[in-house]
Amino acid sequence: MKLFRLALPVFLWLALTATAHAVEPVYSDFFGKAIRGYDPVAYFTEGKPVKGDSDYTYSWNDAEWYFSSQENLSLFTANPEKYAPQYGGYCAWAVSKGYTAKIDPNAWYIHNDKLYLNYSRSVQSTWQQDIPGNIASADKNWPQLLNN
């Protein structure tokens, strides 16, 4: 019982502060890997998702980014905004609807030289039915989600 009384304030503090924080600027997994360890540059240079290598990492925007080569790492460090997925790598469709969701690195799309990721391929299919409209909605929602 004494342990419970000691743990309760810590639990309450964690619960209250968890809801008080804004969305992280970059979606990352439990280990802090952005895009679940996939190389963001490879989507542009190879036209497909490529798993990154722990030999080529870069810390940016509170997440660890993985790359498949030194060349891709160099491209990213020179211009991270060019290669990083939109909406911090959260599901683009979810952001367009006003919330955040994790992503599947295989559910991706480049539109106007920007990388968009989705929760799944079926969600991506829905998102692609109105890309301009969904981007407009997500662009409007994203700042609010960051500050909630």
The rounded distance, in Å, linking the Cα atoms of 11 and 25 is 25
The rounded distance, in Å, linking the Cα atoms of 50 and 38 is 6
Burial of 129 from C-beta contacts in 10 A (0-12 / 13-18 / 19+):
exposed
Look at residue 48 and tell me whether its pLDDT is greater than 70. Answer: yes
In this prediction, residue 30 has a pLDDT band, given cuts at 50, 70 and 90, of: confident
The rounded distance, in Å, linking the Cα atoms of 26 and 35 is 9
> Stretch 125-143: mean pLDDT, rounded?
97
In this prediction, residue 29 has a pLDDT band, given cuts at 50, 70 and 90, of: confident
> Stretch 41-47: mean pLDDT, rounded?
98
> Stretch 95-113: mean pLDDT, rounded?
97
**How confident is the model at residue 7, as a pLDDT?**
45
Do residues 109 and 97 make contact, with C-beta atoms less than 8 angstroms apart?
no
> Stretch 132-144: mean pLDDT, rounded?
97
**How confident is the model at residue 28, as a pLDDT?**
87
Do residues 40 and 76 make contact, with C-beta atoms less than 8 angstroms apart?
yes
> Stretch 17-36: mean pLDDT, rounded?
73
- List the one residue out of 82, 76, 83 whose CA is nearest residue 43: 83
Q: Quote the pTM value.
A: 0.83
